[in-house]
């Protein structure tokens, strides 16, 4: 699939009551998300609890979801780790599953230099024929992927996109300005989607699209045709829900909300725990104000 889509959902990984990956429920969730506005998925990302998944679980998840959705949507497989050699091997295996693209996160913990980041991503991209998406999320990785490094990496043929979750709109604008027109800049934060798309970004890798995908897609579509007044109204209206979904560590609130509406995705794996009673009540209070697009 050459087209990844504008609204990509960073999909949660469902677990059963034994704490095992529930592949059947994952497939049901993916189909329900496609029906509610999503055009593709980031699998085994931050929201998918990647640090708790084994490589075998990741690869089976990529394969099961792609075989289920076929060409209805794209599968972007997160194969990035803080170990370049392991990332390369996982990327090679992910390509065999039928994934449409690869997500490469800035390595956490190691705090590499910008040259180290360039060489890391260059090596992973060289190991696959698939298009690759960079993922900058300094709030989790500590290290920021600098504008100049993104521009430099964008010149590698199969590095075609970046998921920018720095929250720095000036940085994002400079990336859009400094890269080719066909390089895709995705907002990595739901709350930044409207300004990023308005500045020329491609779309969003979204969490709240689990619940309000059609509304997010409508906002993006309106922005693309210059209907900024209505798009901004949708944007402002969604902000309380976005805040609620990050009230405690992602994806705990999203899993709670999906369970609440009847899409049983189980609980999070340790060290993450589900929202406590006070947080759950606060999430409930916000959810009741929204029309939920996804259907169990």
Instruction: Return mean pLDDT, the chain.
Output: 97
- pLDDT tens-digit map of 124-179: 999 999 999 999 999 999 999 999 999 999 999 999 999 999 999 999 999 999 99
Answer whether residue 254 shows pLDDT above 50.
yes
In a domain, 293, yes or no: no
Secondary structure class of 185 (helix, strand, coil): strand
pLDDT tier for residue 180 given thresholds of 50, 70 and 90: very high
Answer whether residue 202 shows pLDDT above 50.
yes
Q: Are 255 and 274 in contact (CB under 8 A)?
A: yes
135 as an active site residue: the answer is yes
- pLDDT tens-digit map of 89-108: 999 999 999 999 999 999 99
Residue 63: predicted pLDDT: 98
23 as an active site residue: the answer is no
In a domain, 256, yes or no: no
Number of H helices, E strands in the chain: 12, 8
Alpha-carbon distance of 120 to 72, in angstroms, equals 32
Which pTM was predicted?
0.96
In a domain, 243, yes or no: no
- pLDDT tens-digit map of 35-71: 999 999 999 999 999 999 999 999 999 999 999 999 9
**CATH code for position 137:** 3.20.20.70
CA distances for 69 relative to 24, 59, 231, angstroms: 13, 16, 29
Question: Averaged over 206-223, what is the pLDDT?
Answer: 98
Question: Averaged over 235-263, what is the pLDDT?
Answer: 97
Alpha-carbon distance of 222 to 126, in angstroms, equals 37
In a domain, 219, yes or no: yes
Alpha-carbon distance of 175 to 20, in angstroms, equals 40
- pLDDT tens-digit map of 225-236: 999 999 999 999
Q: Specify burial of residue 72 (Cβ count, 10 A radius: 0-12, 13-18, 19+).
A: middle
In a domain, 25, yes or no: yes
Active-site residue, selected from the candidate residues 23, 135, 186, 256 = 135
Alpha-carbon distance of 171 to 286, in angstroms, equals 31
Active-site residue, selected from the candidate residues 58, 66, 163, 222 = 163
Lookup result for tokens 């409207």: 194
Query: How many percent of the chain have pLDDT more than 90?
Result: 99
In a domain, 251, yes or no: no
In a domain, 71, yes or no: yes
In a domain, 269, yes or no: no
Answer whether residue 267 shows pLDDT above 80.
yes
What is the number of structural domains in the chain?
1
Residue 225: predicted pLDDT: 97
What is the domain range of residue 80? 7-237
pLDDT tier for residue 3 given thresholds of 50, 70 and 90: confident
pLDDT tier for residue 1 given thresholds of 50, 70 and 90: very low
């Amino acid at each position: 699939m050459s087209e990844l889509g504008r609204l990509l959902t960073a999909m949660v990984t469902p677990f059963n009551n034994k704490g095992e990956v529930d592949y059947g429920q994952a497939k049901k969730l993916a189909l329900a998300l496609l029906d509610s506005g999503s055009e593709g998925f980031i699998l085994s990302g931050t929201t998918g609890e990647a640090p708790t998944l084994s490589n075998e679980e990741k690869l089976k998840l990529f394969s099961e979801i792609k075989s289920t959705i076929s060409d209805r949507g794209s599968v972007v497989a997160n194969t990035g780790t803080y170990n370049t050699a392991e990332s390369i091997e996982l990327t090679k295996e992910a390509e065999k599953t039928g994934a449409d693209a690869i997500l490469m996160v800035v390595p956490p913990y190691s705090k590499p230099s910008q040259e180290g980041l360039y060489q890391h991503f260059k090596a992973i991209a060289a190991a696959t024929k698939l298009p690759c998406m960079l993922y900058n999320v300094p709030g989790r990785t500590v290290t920021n992927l600098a504008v100049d490094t993104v521009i430099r990496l964008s010149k590698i043929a199969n590095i075609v996109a970046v998921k920018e979750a720095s929250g720095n709109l000036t940085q994002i604008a400079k990336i859009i300005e400094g890269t080719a027109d066909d390089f895709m800049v995705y907002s990595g934060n739901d709350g930044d989607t409207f300004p990023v798309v308005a500045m020329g970004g491609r779309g969003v890798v979204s969490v709240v699209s689990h619940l309000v995908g059609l509304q997010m897609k409508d906002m993006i579509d309106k922005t693309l045709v210059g209907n900024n007044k209505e798009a901004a109204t949708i944007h402002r209206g969604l902000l309380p829900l976005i805040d609620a979904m990050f009230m405690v560590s992602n994806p705990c609130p999203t899993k709670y909300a999906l369970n609440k509406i009847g899409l049983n995705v189980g609980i999070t794996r340790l060290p993450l725990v589900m929202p406590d009673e006070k947080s759950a009540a606060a999430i409930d209070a916000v959810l009741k104000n929204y029309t939920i697009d996804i259907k169990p």
